[in-house]
Amino acid sequence: MSHNPNIRLSFATKLVTTSIIIIISSTFTTSQTCKPTCGTLPVRYPFGTGLGCGDPRFQTRVTCNNQHLTFITHTGCYPITAIDYPNQIIYITDPSMSTCGCTQPSKGFGLDWDAPFTFHDNTVFALLNCDTSSSPIFKSDGRNAPVCDPVSGTRVCGILNSCQAVSRLTTPVSSCCVYAPVDLGPSFEMDLGKLNCGSYSGLYGFDGHADNPESWKYGVALKYKFNFNNEYPTMCADCERSGGVCGYGGPYSSFLCNCRSGINTTTNCLFEATWNSSSRFVHGGFWIYALTWLVIWMML
């Protein structure tokens, strides 16, 4: 029978192919595209660590570069220091802003008007070193300029002025202007050049600590919304519960669940749990296949 060796050969080929598939699938165990962390920060919906991860509307605004989660607007790139997922708040710092310990010139800060972020009510902006004679915010008829808060402003400005670094500016307290709650107008932009102010401080964490500037946090607190109804997508919640990371793909940027094994599903990663519990068997299975293959090879 001349076709007998051919059958054996194709059987061996099948075994080799199976072995290769097993090797590849065990390599895939570490090839998850969307990561659940960036540096030390947990990354969950709607944020993502790269293209195709999280929600497409947030993808260009929050990125993970060299394990640093970064918030991006047209005014610059800002390190994200913390994310409060239950309350939907991200906290960012601006390396150009002034603090109690250090004052420096800044061009200002702005949000993109079309991005799904707004200022949190706890955020206070103190504009420092403003030219009271020319700045539009100090003109009584300053129509399009933001208006300083006289009450909390005096307190915040007074305390900021008692900081050594700020007092070194040797500008009067009256050249400081506070917005609280922050309303930068329809453009969400604080252009210090236009306002004739030299620098600014962003502060949050006043609740109950108004008189203790040491406990204030310098930075900006921003709220975000998932969507119009602000509902956490149930498909994504299901995916995250099963150990996956939410992402999107395809021509319509439709939902994907990126599982730890690197496989994308349209539901969740529960299949991995079963697969994982039998992973020892799979690895053992590989050696069984290899051994069988060797036996077949010797028989040929």
Ligand X SMILES: *[C@@H]1O[C@H](CO)[C@@H](O)[C@H](O)[C@H]1NC(C)=O
Closest contact distance (angstroms) between CB of 27 and ligand X is: 12
Q: Which is nearer to ligand X, 99 or 258 (CB)?
A: 258
| 249 binds ligand X, rule: CB under 6 A | yes
Strand partners, 92: 80, 220
| 256 binds ligand X, rule: CB under 6 A | yes
Q: Which is nearer to ligand X, 122 or 258 (CB)?
A: 258
| 36 binds ligand X, rule: CB under 6 A | no
| 268 binds ligand X, rule: CB under 6 A | no
Q: How many residues bind ligand X (CB under 6 A)?
A: 15
Q: Is 51 exposed, middle or buried (0-12, 13-18, 19+ CB in 10 A)?
A: middle
Q: Which stretch binds ligand X (CB under 6 A): 61-69, 214-222, 241-249, 280-288?
A: 241-249
| 52 binds ligand X, rule: CB under 6 A | yes
- Edge to edge, the sheet with strand 117-119 lists 62-65, 68-73, 76-84, 89-92, 220-224, 117-119
| 29 binds ligand X, rule: CB under 6 A | yes
| 258 binds ligand X, rule: CB under 6 A | yes
Euclidean distance between CA atoms 53 and 50, whole angstroms? 5
| 25 binds ligand X, rule: CB under 6 A | no
| 253 binds ligand X, rule: CB under 6 A | no
| 242 binds ligand X, rule: CB under 6 A | no
Q: Which is nearer to ligand X, 59 or 98 (CB)?
A: 59
| 262 binds ligand X, rule: CB under 6 A | yes
Closest contact distance (angstroms) between CB of 218 and ligand X is: 35
Q: Which is nearer to ligand X, 3 or 280 (CB)?
A: 280
| 118 binds ligand X, rule: CB under 6 A | no
Please give the single-letter amino acid code of residue 65: N
| 247 binds ligand X, rule: CB under 6 A | yes
One of 19, 25, 26, 33 touching ligand X (CB under 6 A): 33
Residue whose C-beta lies closest to ligand X: 52
Q: Which is nearer to ligand X, 173 or 263 (CB)?
A: 263
Question: What residues make contact with ligand X under the rule CB under 6 A?
Answer: 29, 33, 52, 243, 247, 249, 256, 258, 260-264, 272, 276
